[in-house]
Chain A
Amino acid sequence: MTSISIAHPQTLEAVETTTNGKYAIEVKDLNVYYGDFRAVKNVNLKIERQKITAMIGPSGCGKSTVLRAFNRMNDLVPSARVQGEILFHGHNIYDPGVDSVQVRKWIGMVFQKPNPFPKSIYENVAWGARINGYRGSMDDLVEQALRGAALWDEVNDKLQQSGLSLSGGQQQRLCIARTIAVKPDIILMDEPASALDPIATLRIEELMRELAQQYTIIVVTHNMQQAARVSDYTAFFTMNEDRAGYLMEFGNTSQIFTNPKEKVTEDYITGRFG
């Protein structure tokens, strides 16, 4: 049971104690703008710890934007602007004085297209930990992370080979290994299996279930079967006429998929639009 609380909220310096909070992330009145365009409108959401929350919805509904707001990746887009609060264990990550670099250490991210570094498998895993000041046995950490990502048995004899020599599914698991090597609290996944074949997809999904015992996972997906298979909670996003995305419905995955409250959700899930 890993849990963290934050000693100095301004810098998100963490110490190992137990928190009693139920939620890893609480989103309050989140609005995201790209220049003058409002991409995300008034999102309120509570993400439970050590659960998998799926975000689904049609293209352009802002679910990726919301996901990227969770670890301040939107900061890298010059025109992006965020309003509202995102509380990470009770501390607003958008507080002035909070360093986005520190946020990303706690809230890791796996991307749509596998993007290992053009370095050895070992270096791919070790790099993030090293730059974050990890002092300890790097060999142990690499093994632990690769085992955690269910990749160790496939690569333990070729750690010095390029990460790019692996298959697509293996590359994506390498990216997951490199993320957990930094020991984050939350892992964000932006359509992690959309570039993979069905078998590799299945392995990623199994891995997500295993990781959920330790980490809070938020996954954006276009694949509704995937959302239904892996997630505990589902957030359905859609957009209105001015193309601003908003949260339509949020609830237990089983409830969303079997008994949605909203007509739009039902239409989307049954494939009538989107």
Chain B
Amino acid sequence: MNQVEPLGLTEPLDQKSNLPGRQRLARIWKVIFQVSTVIGILALGALLYNVSDRSFGYIALEARVQPDTLAINGTPLEEMTVEQLISVLQAKVSAGRFRKLNNDKAFEERTADEVYDLILEDVVRPKVVKTWSLTDSLLRRQQVLTEAAEDYPKANVLFRSWLNPRFVQAPQSSIPIDAGVRTAILGSLWTILITILFAFPTGVGAAIYLEEYAVDNRLNRLIQTNINNLAGVPSIIYGILGLAIFVRTLEHLTSGAIFGLVDPTTANGRTIFSAGLTLGLLVLPLLIINGQEAIRAVPSSLRQAAYGLGATKWQTIWHHVLPNAMPGILTGTILAISRAIGETAPLVVVGASTYITFDPDGPFSKFTTLPIQIYQWTSRPQDDFRNIAAAAILVLLTMLLSLNATAILLRNRFSRRL
């Protein structure tokens, strides 16, 4: 009668238990998780190392005409007046070239610095004959310098950061050392602007409809399933879709012809507008799904409270559901936009220009983007194109990080209000 079984302790403690085995398994799993994290960090480190290794380092620069031979009466180029510089230029380039330069911008209006740059570009024409990686430049500096002196006695050996202010500001050029990414940066920014303007309101609107208004029936479940599937469709397929719809079918709209813009170079619809809309289509399913999840995460007690006070559905959504879902919506938007910025394949299909030297001046101009530019540079045979590709990758990463930082700041502002 007093024989009550002790709670839990159905076997004596000294009996052989499986606890050490369970603890060992727990430790093994912990190690596995640590290894996964380390692999991730190593991959990231390797990426950064690889890109920086090419972005900086020694180069051997050979000039076609040595600058010191251009000196007039012992006055070096750097100290010449505008008139002297113009005369040097006129003496060294062909008459036709000189006339063309004059047509681009009259020489009377040019400053000494501008003319100096022209002389460097057209007369001195420095050429990179050899580049070294950052690792070599730092760790084997003496060897690099000896090698350079032996192999390229005429060359000027200097440490170059391929990523420099000029690189960011200069337009595309066929000479790597002169090339810059301004055109590509502007192209990327314009494209992403169109993408955001199109995809964000559409995505959030669809998410609100599906979560708050749509009733649970067969049709809406079908729509939901298809949106989920669309999120996994390869990006090249969106490119083909964009080509068919935006470039071909809606050519009048995307070329700007409908607004009276009949620039013959862009009239075929291969414009920033088409590219932005295509990327918008690409990220739309991501935005909808993410928006739905964010809206679903808003506690229903909040909706009930609002309805209980005599709020309409729209007042409830606008004043309570959306503000509370906004941090989540913005987080998803950051991820989706980051993906769009890095996309290359669909833009190749839609018709990004590979070589373009003028800045895009609106949604209806031809364009290139940073990933396209990088892709195009890496496929060139010359070594130094790979250096500028690496530098362009750093620019792309910086751009991505700063856009993300902006979005995170925005998100935190929304969260703090709560």
Give which listed residue, B301, B308, B315, contacts A108 with CB less than 8 A: B308
Q: Name the A residues within 8 Å of B305 (CB-CB).
A: 111, 115-117, 175, 178
Within A75-97, the residues touching B (CB, 8 Å) are: 76, 78
- Whether the Cβ atoms of B216 and A78 lie closer than 8 Å is yes
- Whether the Cβ atoms of B304 and A131 lie closer than 8 Å is no
Interface string of A149-163 (1 = CB under 8 A from B): 000000000000010
Q: Name the A residues within 8 Å of B9 (CB-CB).
A: none
Q: Name the A residues within 8 Å of B315 (CB-CB).
A: 131
Q: How far is the CA of A116 from the CA of B309 in the complex (A)?
A: 12
- Whether the Cβ atoms of B311 and A101 lie closer than 8 Å is yes
Q: How far is the CA of A182 from the CA of B418 in the complex (A)?
A: 23
Give which listed residue, A71, A101, A109, A115, contacts B312 with CB less than 8 A: A101
Q: Name the B residues within 8 Å of A179 (CB-CB).
A: 308-309
B324 interface contact, C-beta 8 A: yes
A226 interface contact, C-beta 8 A: no
Interface string of A164-185 (1 = CB under 8 A from B): 1000000000010011001000
B215 interface contact, C-beta 8 A: yes
Interface size on B, residues (CB 8 A): 21
- Whether the Cβ atoms of A102 and B309 lie closer than 8 Å is no
Of the listed residues A71, A102, A104, A116, the one surrounded by the most CB atoms of chain B closer than 10 A to its CB is A104
Within the complex, the shortest CB–CB distance from A6 to chain B, in Å, comes to 15
Known contacts A78-B216, A118-B418, A162-B418; A128/B304 CB under 8 A: no
Known contacts A78-B216, A118-B418, A182-B310; A127/B301 CB under 8 A: no
Within the complex, the shortest CB–CB distance from B416 to chain A, in Å, comes to 10
Interface string of B297-336 (1 = CB under 8 A from A): 0010111111111111001000110001000000000000
- Whether the Cβ atoms of A132 and B304 lie closer than 8 Å is no
Interface string of B224-252 (1 = CB under 8 A from A): 00000000000000000000000000000
- Whether the Cβ atoms of A128 and B301 lie closer than 8 Å is no
Within the complex, the shortest CB–CB distance from B328 to chain A, in Å, comes to 14
Which B residue sits closest to A106, measured CB to CB?
Answer: B310
Within B152-186, the residues touching A (CB, 8 Å) are: none
A209 interface contact, C-beta 8 A: no
Which B residue sits closest to A116, measured CB to CB?
Answer: B305
Q: Name the B residues within 8 Å of A43 (CB-CB).
A: none
- Whether the Cβ atoms of A117 and B302 lie closer than 8 Å is yes
Known contacts A73-B304, A115-B302; A101/B324 CB under 8 A: no
Within B311-369, the residues touching A (CB, 8 Å) are: 311-312, 315, 319-320, 324
- Whether the Cβ atoms of A111 and B418 lie closer than 8 Å is no
Interface size on A, residues (CB 8 A): 28
Q: How far is the CA of A119 from the CA of B320 in the complex (A)?
A: 10
Known contacts A78-B215, A131-B319, A162-B418; A104/B309 CB under 8 A: yes
Q: Name the A residues within 8 Å of B312 (CB-CB).
A: 101, 131
Within the complex, the shortest CB–CB distance from A218 to chain B, in Å, comes to 13
Q: Name the B residues within 8 Å of A132 (CB-CB).
A: 309-310
- Whether the Cβ atoms of A128 and B324 lie closer than 8 Å is no
Which B residue sits closest to A120, measured CB to CB?
Answer: B417
A113 interface contact, C-beta 8 A: yes
- Whether the Cβ atoms of A113 and B309 lie closer than 8 Å is no
- Whether the Cβ atoms of A131 and B309 lie closer than 8 Å is yes
Give which listed residue, A76, A118, A182, contacts B304 with CB less than 8 A: A76
Known contacts A78-B215, A131-B319, A162-B418; A115/B304 CB under 8 A: yes
Give which listed residue, B215, B302, B311, B418, contacts A128 with CB less than 8 A: B311
Q: Name the B residues within 8 Å of A78 (CB-CB).
A: 215-216
Interface string of A59-74 (1 = CB under 8 A from B): 0000000000001010
- Whether the Cβ atoms of B308 and A104 lie closer than 8 Å is yes
Within B389-418, the residues touching A (CB, 8 Å) are: 417-418
Within B97-118, the residues touching A (CB, 8 Å) are: none
- Whether the Cβ atoms of A115 and B301 lie closer than 8 Å is yes
A51 interface contact, C-beta 8 A: no
Within the complex, the shortest CB–CB distance from A194 to chain B, in Å, comes to 14
A105 interface contact, C-beta 8 A: yes
Q: How far is the CA of A178 from the CA of B311 in the complex (A)?
A: 13
- Having A131-B319, A162-B418, one finds 18 other A-B pairs with CB under 8 Å, namely A71-B308, A73-B307, A76-B303, A76-B307, A101-B310, A101-B311, A104-B309, A105-B310, A109-B308, A110-B308, A117-B306, A128-B310, A131-B309, A175-B305, A178-B305, A178-B309, A179-B308, A179-B309
A-B contact pairs, 20 of them (CB 8 A): A78-B215, A104-B308, A104-B310, A105-B309, A108-B308, A109-B304, A109-B308, A110-B308, A111-B301, A115-B302, A117-B306, A117-B320, A118-B302, A128-B309, A131-B309, A131-B312, A131-B315, A162-B418, A164-B418, A179-B308
Q: Which 7 A-B pairs have the closest CB atoms?
A: A105-B310, A128-B309, A118-B418, A109-B308, A115-B301, A104-B310, A115-B305
